[in-house]
Structure 1
Amino acid sequence: MTARYSIEVFACSYFGIALTLQGYVNSIVDCTIVAFYGQCELQLKLLRYNLEHLTDLDDVDLQEGTINENTLSYIDDNLIKKRLVHCVKHHQKIIWFLSETQSISNEFVTLQLSVACWTICMSVYKLVTVDMFSGEFFLTIGYLNCMLMQFFMYCYHGSQVLVESEFIAESAYCSNWVDISPRSRRLLLIFMMCCTRPLVICAAKIVPINLESYLAVLKASYTLFTILHKK
């Protein structure tokens, strides 16, 4: 009897430690991927700031003579071209970084989103069948909150990346482009046209990860729960 009790304690301890470590690993993976999305969002904000202040002149530029004595003359094309080239390279780096992030995390994110609808539905269905004041009820509530938060983190930051990328062209237009030469305006216009396509984070290269997808999954989960509950 003592040996059997010892084996049960060891088995419970082993599974408890294993599940705890697995939970920590999943949390680390989620936080890492979301941090990469947040980095893309931050870089897009920096790019938008640089575009909005594309024609600003600091003290160094004035000392180097980037603006002529005539205050009505255009800002030096070389300065604008240099800054615009930097913005173009920055934008290309952001696209590359986002592509690399998706290629690394695509399988994991796709699996998470694939089981999210079914997991949320089964958790809600289980809440209806168990006693409200039981320990199983509170465990299911905690698990459901974790799933919703995990799914929300991906969709929120994916939506933020989409929104920031959509306003790149608008940020370029908000710059004082009237003070640059027609040649520089054409270059800026070409860059704006290249930025009209927003950056969309997708699961399985098909399903966009944004708040609309989050609401769609919740709606599908509720529909599935309604069907099961009626039966």
Structure 2
Amino acid sequence: MLSPGYYFSFMRKLNDILNPLELGQLAISSFGICFGILRLSSENLGFGDFIVSFLYMAGIISQFAVDCGVGTLLYYQASLLPEAVYASNWMGLTNNALRKDIIFFLHHSQRIPQLTAYNLFDIHMMSFLKVIRVAFSLFTLMKNL
């Protein structure tokens, strides 16, 4: 059985690798969506420019949606682990050392590891909605200037 430290060290290493990428993705997505909407709302936009701008925005949104979907999926799968271990009939074990290990695992698996961007933002679907809101707020601000 893998220890809970293994899962936390895996998520820590994954976060260390992905932190700058995810934070950059948050910023680029916010500004990219904002400028894409601003471009789409311009009055003298030809059909070809409209298609290119729309595809650009769809690409940025889908790229960030995939990141947030993976973060949500990782969190969900990690949250199922303590329940699965608890439901594994561990109370009927006769080996006390193994029972203590399982209790230790259950205790330490209550903290669910999560994909983050420098611990400033958790990467999940709610973050996706927040980025969309920020992008529309930036668009409104720029449109009113």
Show the counterpart of 1:175: 88
Task: Tell me if structure 1 keeps the 8 A contact 2:35–2:139.
Answer: yes
CA spacing shift, 1:188–1:97, aligned 2, 3 Å: closer
Matched residue pairs, number?
A: 144
Show the counterpart of 2:11: 98
| The one of 157, 181, 196 aligned to 2:110 | 196
User: In 2, distance between residues paired with 1:192 and 1:97?
Assistant: 18
The answer to which of 167-176 and 183-192 deviates more is 183-192
Task: Tell me if structure 2 keeps the 8 A contact 1:130–1:137.
Answer: no
- Which protein, 1 or 2, shows the higher relative CO under an 8 Å CA cutoff with sep ≥ 6? 2
Show the counterpart of 2:30: 117
Say which SS state the counterpart of residue 139 (structure 1) adopts: helix
RMSD: 2.1
Show the counterpart of 1:223: 137
2:2 matched to 1:87? yes
Show the counterpart of 2:53: 140
For the pair shown, the structure with the greater C-alpha radius of gyration is 1
Show the counterpart of 1:33: none
User: In 2, distance between residues paired with 1:219 and 1:136?
Assistant: 25
Q: Following TM superposition, by how much is the alpha carbon of 1:162 offset from its aligned partner in structure 2, in angstroms?
A: 1.1
User: In 2, distance between residues paired with 1:229 and 1:136?
Assistant: 19
Q: One-letter code of the match for 2:84?
A: S
CA spacing shift, 1:213–1:228, aligned 2, 3 Å: same
TM-score, normalized by length of structure 1?
A: 0.56
TM-score, normalized by length of structure 2?
A: 0.86
- Could you tell me which runs of 5 or more consecutive residues in structure 2 were left unpaired when the two chains were aligned: none
Say which SS state the counterpart of residue 199 (structure 1) adopts: coil
CA distances 1:31-73 after superposition (whole Å, capped 9, x unpaired): xxxxxxxxxxxxxxxxxxxxxxxxxxxxxxxxxxxxxxxxxxx
Name the % identity.
22
CA distances 1:80-125 after superposition (whole Å, capped 9, x unpaired): xxxxxx232xx43333333223222322222121221111011011
User: In 1, distance between residues paired with 2:43 and 2:125?
Assistant: 31
Q: Following TM superposition, by how much is the alpha carbon of 1:126 offset from its aligned partner in structure 2, in angstroms?
A: 1.1
CA distances 1:152-211 after superposition (whole Å, capped 9, x unpaired): 111110111111112211111111224213834443222101000011111123211111
Q: One-letter code of the match for 2:110?
A: T
Q: Following TM superposition, by how much is the alpha carbon of 1:212 offset from its aligned partner in structure 2, in angstroms?
A: 1.0
